[in-house]
């Protein structure tokens, strides 16, 4: 808890385990320090906020400071969740409650590893929790992926969601066929945004440049390609159902891809069974009269293409733009979730002008002194405790790899917080000595000319975005550059 006082002399309050001390010099107040544990969280996405939330609720003397590279909080809730999924973003309300706790502070516009070093954080805090997520891209590793018209799903999603680093992406949507590599929820989000009626998107918080580009888009067919079969798709039934019911579109799938699938369903778990049944119904069952009419009037189509792996992105005659994708036809070895895709000698070429790779996000190392497993792209840990680094913890995708939904991240982050609390309680983490926390970090930032964005500063940004959105019938119109965010926050 931080406070300021104009009292003179020395005042001491005993609050259970806390001792609050305020020393005054020359009549100028100094910030109150506490003997309670000082914890720093790096990253303000779901992992960071859920970790902070659990720590603050579980221990009444802990101070949690959240550091974020961007001036705005909430990570992938703001920049990753699809614009037409506003209900998923409601979790921001919970994060806001955490940020407004007296024992929580937000410091945006602070780049850990550049503005402040990990060593400086570790000196200032009893514990440091790394929760900065996965901002890198997994590459396909095939010839031609450098061509114009090839994008990662992470960057494409960042473009339509207003991530400042993706503002200049400006994808060319003048082709008729797009191929998305990957069959998870992000892949379906991208497919849905590419094909959704613009009138539907106008009511969301999609960025103005993306909305304008999609209004002019000529993409009318999207293929969602996976290495394995219908029983291994990684999306959930909610996202599949949204594709099936997407206005103005119809499904187009290859019936042969579903041979033997119905017979295999008796051995799979219920969620997988329901998902596959919907796939089978969509691909094989004759639609009813109303659905048939809907499909007949559809001007856009989508479909899954199974057991295919990318071999090469083929260029157009200029040698600079994407013209087609060369795919290997795979066979499956094994069954169920453990089935492996094995290349065969058979190949096929799919003409397309847009390729979006949705094969996974990837975490990046933050500092040479912090352990990092480059093969798994995670920080090695045991229940969130970073291997051979006492006082250092990890939560979220940096801990587990980029898997699961927000609820998965919540449970994983709570586990990390519990590990940290156990270590405080057992003495494995020494919290008996005073640590300066944000006081020393703020002094270093002042010396370096870095002005953090506080949570109340973020609320100014939030208000401006909401007002701009209201003017055009949207929930918000996002600010798209760091410079504009900082200007508004300091107004």
Q: Do 291 and 157 belong to one domain?
A: yes
Please state the rounded mean pLDDT for residues 375-399: 95
Confidence of residue 402 (pLDDT cuts 50, 70, 90): confident
Shared-domain flag, residues 301 and 203: yes
Residue 299 within a domain = yes
pTM, to two decimals = 0.90
A 10 A CB-CB count for 365 gives 16
Residues in the chain: 491
Of 55, 130, 40, 59, nearest to 417 by C-alpha is 55
Do 78 and 191 lie in one domain? The reply is no
Structural domain count, the chain? 2
Instruction: Report the chain's mean pLDDT, rounded to a whole number.
Output: 91
- Residue 305 shares a structural domain with residue 183: yes
pLDDT tens track for 164-190: 999 999 999 999 999 999 999 999 999
Is 349 in the same domain as 389?
no
Q: Are residues 195 and 298 in the same domain?
A: yes
pLDDT at 16: 35
Residue labelled with tokens 């007949």: 296
Q: How far is CA 218 from CA 82, 222, 299, in A?
A: 21, 11, 11
Question: Do the domain assignments include residue 491?
Answer: no
- From the number of C-beta atoms within 10 Å of its C-beta (0-12, 13-18, 19+), residue 255 rates as exposed
The secondary structure element, H or E, covering residue 382 is strand 381-382
Q: What would the mean pLDDT of 45-66 be, rounded to a whole number?
A: 97
- Residue 76 belongs to a domain with what CATH number? 3.40.50.720
In the predicted model, is pLDDT for residue 126 greater than 50?
A: yes
183 occurs within a structural domain: yes
pLDDT at position 349 over 90: yes
Same domain, 449 and 408: yes
What digits encode the pLDDT tens for the residues 279-336? 999 999 999 999 999 999 999 999 999 999 999 999 999 999 999 999 999 999 988 8
pLDDT of residue 161: 98
pLDDT tens for 184-237 read 999 999 999 999 999 999 999 999 999 999 999 999 999 999 999 999 999 999
Please tell me the predicted confidence (pLDDT) of residue 336: 82
- What does the alpha-carbon distance between residue 279 and residue 257 come to, in Å, rounded to a whole number? 11
Q: Among the three residues 360, 377, 394, which one is the final residue of a domain in this structure?
A: 360
* pLDDT tens, position by position, 404-459: 889 999 999 999 999 999 999 999 999 999 999 999 999 999 999 999 999 999 99
Domain that residue 408 falls in: 36-135+363-453
- Calculate what percentage of the chain has a pLDDT beyond 70: 93
Domain boundary among 360, 376, 405: 360
């Amino acid at each position: 808890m931080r406070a300021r006082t104009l009292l003179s002399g020395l005042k001491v309050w005993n609050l259970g385990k806390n001792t609050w001390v305020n020393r005054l010099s020359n009549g100028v107040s100094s910030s109150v320090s506490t003997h309670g544990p000082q914890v720093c969280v790096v990253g303000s996405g779901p992992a960071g906020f859920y970790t902070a939330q659990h720590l603050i609720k579980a221990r009444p003397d802990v101070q949690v400071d959240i550091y974020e590279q961007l001036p705005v909080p909430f990570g992938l809730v703001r920049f990753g969740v699809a614009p037409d999924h506003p209900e998923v973003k409601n979790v921001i309300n919970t994060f806001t409650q955490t940020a407004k706790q007296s024992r929580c502070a937000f410091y945006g516009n602070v780049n850990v590893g550049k503005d402040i070093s990990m060593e400086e954080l570790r000196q200032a805090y009893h514990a440091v929790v790394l929760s900065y997520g996965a901002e890198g891209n997994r590459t396909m590793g095939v010839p031609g992926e450098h061509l114009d018209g090839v994008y990662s799903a992470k960057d494409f999603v960042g473009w339509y969601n207003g991530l400042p680093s993706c503002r200049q992406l400006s994808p060319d949507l003048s082709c008729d066929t797009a191929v998305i590599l990957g069959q998870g929820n992000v892949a379906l989000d991208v497919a849905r945004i590419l094909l959704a009626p613009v009138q539907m998107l106008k009511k969301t918080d999609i960025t103005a440049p993306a909305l304008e580009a999609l209004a002019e888009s000529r993409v009318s067919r999207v293929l969602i390609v996976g290495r394995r079969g219908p029983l291994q798709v990684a999306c959930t039934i909610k996202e599949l159902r949204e594709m099936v019911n997407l206005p103005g579109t119809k499904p187009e799938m290859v019936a042969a891809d579903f041979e033997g699938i119905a017979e295999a369903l008796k051995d799979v778990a219920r969620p997988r069974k329901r998902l596959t049944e919907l796939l089978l119904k969509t691909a094989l069952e004759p639609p009813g009269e109303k659905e048939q009419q809907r499909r007949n009037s559809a001007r856009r189509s989508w479909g899954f293409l199974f057991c295919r792996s990318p071999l090469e992105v083929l260029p157009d005659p200029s040698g600079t733009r994407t013209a087609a994708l060369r795919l290997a036809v795979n066979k499956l070895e094994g069954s169920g979730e453990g089935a492996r895709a094995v290349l065969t000698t058979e190949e096929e070429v799919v003409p397309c002008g847009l390729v979006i790779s949705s094969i996974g996000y990837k975490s990046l190392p933050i500092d040479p002194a912090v352990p990092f497993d480059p093969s798994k792209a995670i920080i090695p840990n045991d229940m969130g405790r970073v291997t051979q680094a006492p006082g250092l913890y990890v939560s979220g995708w940096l801990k587990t790899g980029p898997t699961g939904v927000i609820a998965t991240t919540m449970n994983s982050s709570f586990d990390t917080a519990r590990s940290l609390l156990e270590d405080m309680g057992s003495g494995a983490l020494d919290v008996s000595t005073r640590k300066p926390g944000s006081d020393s970090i703020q002094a270093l930032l002042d010396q370096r000319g870095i002005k953090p964005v506080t949570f109340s500063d973020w609320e100014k940004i939030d208000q401006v975005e909401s007002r701009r959105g209201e003017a055009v019938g949207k929930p918000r119109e996002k600010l798209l550059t760091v410079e504009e965010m900082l200007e508004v926050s300091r107004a």
